[in-house]
Amino acid sequence: MSMDTKLPRVGTTIFTVMSQLAMEHKAINLGQGFPDFPPPEPMIEALARAARDGRNQYSPMAGIPELREAITAKLEACYGARIDPGAHVTVTSGGSEAIFDAVHAVVRPGDEVVLLDPCYDCYEPAVELAGGVPVHVALDPATFAVDWQAVEAAITPRTRMLFINTPHNPSGAVLGESDITALHGLLERHPRLLLLSDEVYEHMVFDGARHESVLRHPALAARSFAVSSFGKTYHCTGWKLGYAVAPAALSTEFRKVHQYNTFCSFTPAQYAVAHMLREHADHHEELPAFYQAKRDAFRAMLGDTRLRPLPVSGGYFQLVDYSEVSDLDDASFCRWITTEHGVAAIPLSPFYRHPPQGQRLARLCFAKDSATLEAAVARLAKL
């Protein structure tokens, strides 16, 4: 049957494609962003306990009260944010669901949504499925900093939302104080503009910098959906558990979509994560140092290769410039090293609407055991 597709530019995601290729060729998978080490043992035990205790049916639509209350306590401790767990916090089936719900809650057909390229590949489809018009603004191709003048120039009377992402996937760049100042100015000058702040790597900010959550800043929080992911924080991406924080009026609209999308999320996991937040806050407090050590070790290992690592200020991805190795475009290069050299990487071009010409960058994930990284670099050193 012939179909007039609603998403003509969308095929199978690059993450699925490269992971499948890695499996077929028995390559070490540094492509898709998932840890190869286990979640914290206390959380596994709490999950099993919740399941044994009969916590296996639908949870309340917005999430169990224990988890929403634990989230608000964490947000106050981390960012000084005073959040109402009943009115402002919604637990979702991962960060991607939260992004989809937020867009569909407020974006109407013809509304424009500004996306900063390169950006995570679920952003544009969410906008297009809502009838919105994605407007792409390029980050600096060398530093991945935001050009706020270019963002301002892209805003029109039809602009409804701006996406920001810090720490940034795929580059690892983070927003700083000057970016927050620029955001304040944008919101003052454009009263219709809302923010979607993708903060799923919030606890992976390095070198003593602080994470500039929109929730630190009341004027930004009042116009924002802030999205985070327990899968990233607790090394359990397959649990698909996250949350969104928004003012009461935005949360009301958000929940209208959420209740007809997933309605609720994995109930035993909600109890397990609530336990971690209440009893083991040291886990997320120590996460920056944990991942900074992995970043530093991986970058040191890459010194034995001809790949040039770019700076990484947050997250768990390392961009490498491979121009000393190959003139292939990034998709071809990543396929080549996966099939011929046994290491899977992700090309950068799928994160763009219009990739920079001649860019030779690939993304590697360092959320892996040391043995995995060492084995991968041993293969990369032969390039």
Whether the predicted model's global pTM rises above the 0.85 cut: yes
pLDDT single digits (tens) 319-346: 999 999 999 999 999 999 999 999 999 9
pLDDT single digits (tens) 116-125: 999 999 999 9
Report the C-alpha gap between 252 and 86 in whole angstroms.
11
Question: Would you tell me which CATH number, out of the four given (3.40.50.720, 1.10.10.10, 3.40.50.300, 3.90.1150.10), belongs to the domain 14-39+284-380?
Answer: 3.90.1150.10
pLDDT band at 15 (very low <50, low <70, confident <90, very high): confident
Which residue reads 């960060």 in tokens? 95
First-to-final CA distance of the chain: 45
The residues, ordered by sequence, that sit 6+ positions from 98 with a Cβ below 8 Å of its Cβ are 90, 92, 225, 227, 242, 243, 244
pLDDT band at 19 (very low <50, low <70, confident <90, very high): confident
CA atoms within 13 A on the CB side of 329: 7
Report the C-alpha gap between 255 and 349 in whole angstroms.
34
Q: In which order are the strands placed within the sheet that holds 346-347?
A: 308-309, 317-321, 361-365, 346-347
Q: Which SS3 state, helix, strand or coil, does residue 331 take?
A: helix
Outline where 162-217 has alpha helix (H).
177-189
CB 265 within 8 A of CB 308: no
Do strands 159-165 and 308-309 pair parallel, antiparallel, or not at all (unpaired)? unpaired
The residue among 176, 159, 233, 224 whose CA lies nearest residue 196 is 224
The residues, ordered by sequence, that sit 6+ positions from 166 with a Cβ below 8 Å of its Cβ are 173, 174, 175, 179, 197, 198, 199, 201, 211, 212, 314
How does the average pLDDT of the chain come out, rounded?
A: 96
The residue among 95, 170, 169, 160 whose CA lies nearest residue 130 is 160
What does CATH list as the number for 41-282?
A: 3.40.640.10
pLDDT band at 303 (very low <50, low <70, confident <90, very high): very high
Q: State residue 283 phi and psi, 5-degree precision.
A: -60, -55
In the predicted structure, residue 115 carries a pLDDT above the cut 80: yes
Q: What is the mean pLDDT of residues 367-375?
A: 97
In the predicted structure, residue 305 carries a pLDDT above the cut 80: yes
pLDDT single digits (tens) 216-245: 999 999 999 999 999 999 999 999 999 999
Q: Where are the domains of the chain?
A: 14-39+284-380, 41-282
pLDDT single digits (tens) 64-81: 999 999 999 999 999 999
pLDDT single digits (tens) 28-60: 999 988 899 999 999 999 999 999 999 999 999
pLDDT single digits (tens) 165-210: 999 999 999 999 999 999 999 999 999 999 999 999 999 999 999 9
DSSP bridge partners of 163? 196
